[in-house]
Chain A
Amino acid sequence: AQKITQTQPGMFVQEKEAVTLDCTYDTSDQSYGLFWYKQPSSGEMIFLIYQGSYDEQNATEGRYSLNFQKARKSANLVISASQLGDSAMYFCAMKGTSGSRLTFGEGTQLTVNP
């Protein structure tokens, strides 16, 4: 079984600054994938970035990067140069080798202030 913990219910950041959203995970699988999704108030879950457990380098996608620390079982999302449109709920999720289901955390509500 997998478990995702997001300890920050809400985060605030000034426009153009960087922000880190925390995610820790627990699994007994040797291979797993970690995902981050963005959910605006409209409800659609938007895929942002993926990190595989055996990837040696941290994943990056544009302004998004994933700070992966395997020994600490953490997969924090870093958003650089925050924009007003980044205000949304952010979910960390993982998938193990036992199946294809995604296990989600409870999410972090990010608010970007002008």
Chain B
Amino acid sequence: ETGVTQSPTHLIKTRGQQVTLRCSSQSGHNTVSWYQQALGQGPQFIFQYYREEENGRGNFPPRFSGLQFPNYSSELNVNALELDDSALYLCASSSGLAGITDTQYFGPGTRLTVL
């Protein structure tokens, strides 16, 4: 069974640029969630995708957008990068929708640095 994978592992961008982060979900999972983890803090929910549709969004501006593909992999796009976007971006996959027992399994993360 293949776990959650993310690419790239590290990324350096400058303010105003755009970035795309990628995530492959665990085998058998159809739901992908994205989180932003600033240094020294807990992860913050960005949004979730279920069967290619956005299913819930956290308190993030519209310049954070995403996609989910038919194979359930996903992309997180961030436009007009700001210094505060520097963080670890975590992707998590799970097997169901809106169930309290549905455990989310995380990938290794992408560390984004904005200069």
Contact = CB atoms under 8 A, between A and B. Distances in A.
A43 interface: yes
Interface in A78-94: 91, 93
Category for how many chain B residues contact A? 20 to 34
Interface string A98-114: 01111111110000000
B42 A50 contact: no
A92 to B, nearest CB: 9
Contacts of B12: none
Interface of A: 4, 31-33, 35, 37, 42-47, 50, 52-53, 91, 93, 95-97, 99-107
Contact of B103 (A35, A42, A44): A35
Contacts of A32: 100
Nearest to A104: B42
A103 B45 contact: yes
Contacts of A93: 42
A18 B103 CA distance: 26
B72 to A, nearest CB: 15
12 contacts: A32-B100, A43-B108, A44-B106, A44-B109, A45-B92, A47-B103, A50-B103, A100-B48, A100-B50, A101-B33, A104-B42, A105-B42
Contacts of A103: 45
A100 B102 contact: yes
Interface in B59-115: 88, 90, 92, 94, 97-109, 111
B58 interface: yes
Contacts of B50: 100
Nearest to B104: A102
Nearest to A9: B40
B100 A96 contact: yes
Contacts of A99: 48, 55-56, 98
A50 B101 contact: yes
Given A100-B33, A100-B56, A102-B33, A33 B43 contact: no
A101 B56 contact: yes
Contact of A101 (B58, B90, B106): B58
